[in-house]
Amino acid sequence: MTLADRLNSGTVSFTAWSGIPDTLTVESVSRLGFEVVTLDMQHGAHHEDSVARCVPAITGPGKHPVIRIPVGRFDMASRALDLGAEAVIAPMINSVEDARRFATAMKYPPVGERSWGPTFGFPRSSVKDHAEWLATQNSRTISFAMIETRAAYGLLDEILDVAGIDGIFVGPSDFSIAWTSGAALNPNLEDMMGAIADIGTRARKADKFAAIFATDPKICGRYASMGYQMIAVGNEQTYMRVGAENLIAAARAAIG
């Protein structure tokens, strides 16, 4: 099952979020209960070498690898796919031209201009030969354009209409900063929830995927009701902190 198949199955998928560029750490995260693992090159410390080495640590336990590239690094989108990623998240897609450049890097002709060279991605896949790879990659890989600003929101329909853009990914923290003109950082800001619901609805109406980052797991049900099919929850620091807090609390309770 590809990530696209999973997202189309009607159930919400959860992605872990990794910012620590260490193969063993990523492998440990990949053995948790998430269906997807995202390696973050934008705000996390992942880089080209760690992406190359960590993709097998994700696929080994049977999870789907996703890469968030740095702002404007559309060349890295193609490289991430060649290294075996199933999806790429591109931050700060604030114009139709940004969306076109991203899509161009993500898709082989005639949709885009992705060049040939799946040196690691092909042998890491279950695809049988290069002809099948070329014929199926455009549909097997997912391009997520991040919607994080009022400019992007204002151009949402045009961005969704770009050939080769498969879905959107909402960054609610940056969206809250933009929504309040820099006055607040509140990813759960109630005043912008109508806009977030509208983004999810319009993406699904356009037959595109909708994904979002949840800073509080309690809001995931609300996001799912808005049409979001993939939700990011926490990161390594969160998993270690919450796990340690629960273990220490249980240990102290046992001592009395």
Q: Closest Cα to residue 34, out of 245, 238, 234?
A: 234
Residue 256's pLDDT is what? 85
Amino acid at 60: G
Asked if residues 173 and 187 have their Cβ atoms less than 8 Å apart, the reply is yes
pLDDT tens per residue across span 40-72: 999 999 999 999 999 999 999 999 999 999 999
Q: Hey, what are 50's tokens? A: 């760690």
The CATH number of whichever domain residue 60 belongs to comes to: 3.20.20.60
State the residue range of the domain holding 86: 3-255
Asked if residues 173 and 215 have their Cβ atoms less than 8 Å apart, the reply is yes
Q: Is 202 exposed, middle or buried (0-12, 13-18, 19+ CB in 10 A)?
A: middle
Please give the Cα distance from 102 to 25 (Å, whole number): 29
Structural domains of the chain, count: 1
**C-alpha distance from residue 141 to each of 22, 130, 134, 181 (Å):** 24, 15, 11, 34
Asked if residues 233 and 214 have their Cβ atoms less than 8 Å apart, the reply is yes
Residue 249's pLDDT is what? 97
Query: What is the pTM (predicted TM-score) of this model?
Result: 0.97
> pLDDT (tens digit, 0 to 9) for every residue of the chain, 256 residues total?
999 999 999 899 999 999 999 999 999 999 999 999 999 999 999 999 999 999 999 999 999 999 999 999 999 999 999 999 999 999 999 999 999 999 999 999 999 999 999 999 999 999 999 999 999 999 999 999 999 999 999 999 999 999 999 999 999 999 999 999 999 999 999 999 999 999 999 999 999 999 999 999 999 999 999 999 999 999 999 999 999 999 999 999 999 8
Is the backbone of residue 107 left (phi > 0), alpha (psi -120 to 50) or beta? beta
Residue 231's pLDDT is what? 98
Residue 6's pLDDT is what? 97
